[in-house]
Structure 1
């Protein structure tokens, strides 16, 4: 029996240090699959961290109401959870992959469209 894919707290970027590493170093790479943009960086593994960590950002500038931002974040989280297996085996031993997914549009998209875009980004990162 296979277990359902999960998205645990260890898989989320919660450390300000990791967020700064991802956005301020200049080493990170960026991919776009409208309405999403992914910024990612392979870095040295930290103790107690999952090999792949994710940050989801939906700017207040795009959606003024929290309910709208939360809906989009939920769509992205679910798409990632279901398809994170695409990244398995792409992270070398002793390394970790930091990913930030940023919403670019001010419109809602269907969940299956969001999932297709997340799959596209994950496949490009896996290369």
Structure 2
């Protein structure tokens, strides 16, 4: 990750179809909720064929069309979640994890509430991954 730089570069965004399918395919992934968000996460698998250097954490945001018909509202929610993650990504520094934030409600919320919920989820992910690595 970038030292002290609060950017969300492309390498930190989850865009690999293989990783997304593995994340939602079940098995190793776990999920937890802090309404109006759910996060699905798992440690990144190691691919023998991939020589890419991946950052310690990768994320994606999904806002289903069933909750917001207008793209403007979906984009606003995605922007709020990405911004909250970007500002607090140092919580997961050193934690190899891939995660997907999924929106669960049909209402818009203020950025402060979304930021609070994203931080809550990230802290819980850190606790769970720390506990699983120590075993």
Q: Does residue 78 of the first structure (1) align with residue 83 of the second (2)? A: yes
Structure 1 regions of 5+ residues with no counterpart?
none
Aligned counterpart, 2:109: 109
CA RMSD in angstroms comes to: 1.4
Q: Secondary structure at the match of 2:86?
A: helix
Is the Cα contact below 8 Å between 2:57 and 2:93 reproduced in 1?
A: no
Q: Does residue 49 of the first structure (1) align with residue 54 of the second (2)? A: yes
**Residues of 2 paired with 1:111 and 1:123: CA distance?**
18
Structure 2 regions of 5+ residues with no counterpart?
128-135
**Residues of 2 paired with 1:117 and 1:87: CA distance?**
15
Alignment of 1:29-44 (within 5 A): 29-44=30-45
Q: Secondary structure at the match of 1:113?
A: helix
**Residues of 2 paired with 1:3 and 1:13: CA distance?**
21
**Residues of 2 paired with 1:108 and 1:63: CA distance?**
9
Q: Secondary structure at the match of 1:44?
A: coil
TM-score, structure 2 normalization: 0.85
Shift in Å, 1:3? 4.3
Q: Secondary structure at the match of 1:43?
A: coil
TM-score, structure 1 normalization: 0.90
Q: Secondary structure at the match of 1:106?
A: coil
Is the Cα contact below 8 Å between 2:56 and 2:93 reproduced in 1?
A: no
- Higher mean alpha-carbon deviation, 32-41 vs 4-13, is at 4-13
